[in-house]
Amino acid sequence: MHFVERLDLLDSFYLSVMSVTTVGYGDRAFKSLPGRVFASVWLLVSTLAVARAFLYLTELRVERRHRRMAQWVLGQDMTVSQFLAADIDNNGFVTKSEFVVYKLKEMGKVTEKDILQICKQFERLDEGNCGKITLADLMESHH
């Protein structure tokens, strides 16, 4: 602004900030063609930069909330109702994989829909329907 519109430094700074924040009181305007071209580029880039900054701050806040939720979930002892919910196959005990799946769901890191999609893929690869994927099953599925 200072070099293009021949404004002093304070007015250049003022015009830049007012333009970016879209306040634009109208007391200053871009008068020359190079000034208007510069303003077009400046407003596009600076508006995107401000939007990116707000997005970054929002992501930080959400991430901090997720970390607190994970710490809270992992800090809890398992109750009887949680045990029953974690025992996916209802066999009377919770395996390590069942416990991990339950805790991930509790933390909101995976949903039931995600788990069902993964189970469908597993069932498709488990040719013998024995609850395991063997190397032979994998080789057969690729042919």
CATH code of the domain in which 17 resides? 1.10.287.70
Task: Evaluate if residue 89 carries a pLDDT over 80.
Answer: yes
For residues 45-65, give the mean pLDDT.
Answer: 93
133 occurs within a structural domain: no
What per-residue confidence (pLDDT) applies to 36? 79
Q: Residue 37's domain spans which residues?
A: 1-75
pLDDT class of 128 with cuts at 50, 70, 90? confident
Question: How many structural domains compose the chain?
Answer: 1
Q: What is the pLDDT of residue 1?
A: 56
Mean pLDDT score, 99-112 = 93
Quickly state the pLDDT bin for 19 (edges 50, 70, 90): confident
Kindly state whether residue 138 falls inside one of the protein's structural domains.
no
Residue 40 in domain: yes
Average pLDDT value for residue range 72-94: 92
Report residue 92 as tokens.
């009377």
pLDDT at 2: 59
